[in-house]
Structure 1
Amino acid sequence: MTLDASDWAGAIPLPPDSEPLVEFASDTERHTVVAIASARVRLCVHKVPGLTVPTLTIPCDPSCALRLAAATRFQRVTQGKRANIDRSAEPTAYQRTRWSQLLALHDALEAGASSRDIAFGIVFPNHRPLKGAEWKGSGERRHVLRLTAAARRLVASGYRSLLHHR
């Protein structure tokens, strides 16, 4: 979260039981991670002389809804209220399972596993391993190749898509 303020001390109205975990400051900005009860808040405060009220800036990008939810939680926490958790931004159980499988598959590829090893070790652990021509023409092989491509795309695109609930 990014705040613009003329004074760093007045920009962040933290409750008395808050504890700064990490701080870094330069002439123009201050980065802070603060523990407030069970919540962790990461702030970047830009020093802007002449501002009478601290200003929160939220860019209109794909993360806008997440940033608005974070700003709402920040306001609730700094006012001493309980931070409500927004479940709409969480991945579904199916998405969590699929992403875990894709990341495990990618790790196996990086370790040098073959597509057949991946098929019967990760994707189809309860199936009988196929041999030779039976494997080459199987739907299991094609499915593993599609999953391999998806795992590589996931890693190549970074993990931001996991956070954007797509």
Structure 2
Amino acid sequence: MIIVETAKPDLPLMWLSSWKPLARVSTSDGKHLVYTRGSCRLRLCVRYRAALPVPAVSIPCDEIYELRIAAVTRMHLITCAPSSASQGAHVITDNQRLRLSRFLAIHDALLAGASSRDLAYGLIFPNHRPLVGATWKASSERRQVLRLIAQARSLVSGGYRDILLHR
């Protein structure tokens, strides 16, 4: 959610003329708005502050301020860009979604006590014939499973923030 403070209630909404409103709730100190254009969504909290000469974005200094800064940056990019360019700018593709869900499934299996060989033939290569002994140790399948395990652990230990920040 992006907090916009303004002295004039309609001023910050002028740049949303090509956006479709999804929700609007008025409160004592302003409005909560959700707008959409294509696959992009903006959630705004518009607060009224009489002393402001120009609209301003307010970013609270809390534990997710980096995400708030990224949201404001994305808002600027997608509201200034033509609608066709902004529609796919920061949307996770089906392949990325599948890969990320696979990482989470790998991490969950590791927490449940699965070995790398269990992961290989139960989750990652379910249609392959299991390898045994030295063949497994020297296989490219084992190396790939170990890389996926490392990436899953990295994602869960903090890398998911990079996805949210579109890095």
Q: 1:71 to 1:110 in 2, by over 3 A?
A: same
User: Taking structure 1 as reference, are residues 15 and 53 closer, same or farther at Cα in structure 2, changes over 3 Å only?
Assistant: same
Give the structure with the higher percent helix: 2
Q: Which structure 1 segments of 5+ residues have no match?
A: none
Q: Is the 8 A contact 1:3 1:56 kept in 2?
A: yes
**Seq. identity, %:** 39
**Alignment partner, residue 23 of structure 2:** 21
1:120 is aligned to: 121
Aligned residue in 2 for 1:73: 78
Separation in 2, partners of 1:94, 1:38: 17
Residue 137 in structure 1 maps to residue 137 in structure 2: yes
Q: CA deviation at 1:128?
A: 1.9
Amino acid in structure 2 at the alignment position of 1:21: A
List alignment gaps of at least 5 residues for structure 2: none
Tell me how far 1:116 sits from its aligned partner: 1.9
What is the SS of the residue equivalent to 1:109?
A: helix
1:82-124 alpha-carbon deviations (Å, 9 max, x no partner): 3532756567898666434323322433555443221113333
Q: CA RMSD in A?
A: 4.3
| TM-score computed with the length of structure 2 as normaliser | 0.62
Structure-1 residue corresponding to 2:151: 150
Aligned partner of 1:2 in structure 2 is: 3
- With 47-56 and 151-160 compared, the bigger mean Cα shift is at 47-56
Equivalent residue runs for 1:97-116 within 5 Å: 98-110=99-111, 113-116=114-117
Q: 1:128 to 1:38 in 2, by over 3 A?
A: closer
Residue in 2 that maps onto 1:161 = 162
Distance 1:38 1:145 in 2: 35
Q: Distance in 1 between matches of 2:131 and 2:91?
A: 37
Q: How many residues align?
A: 160
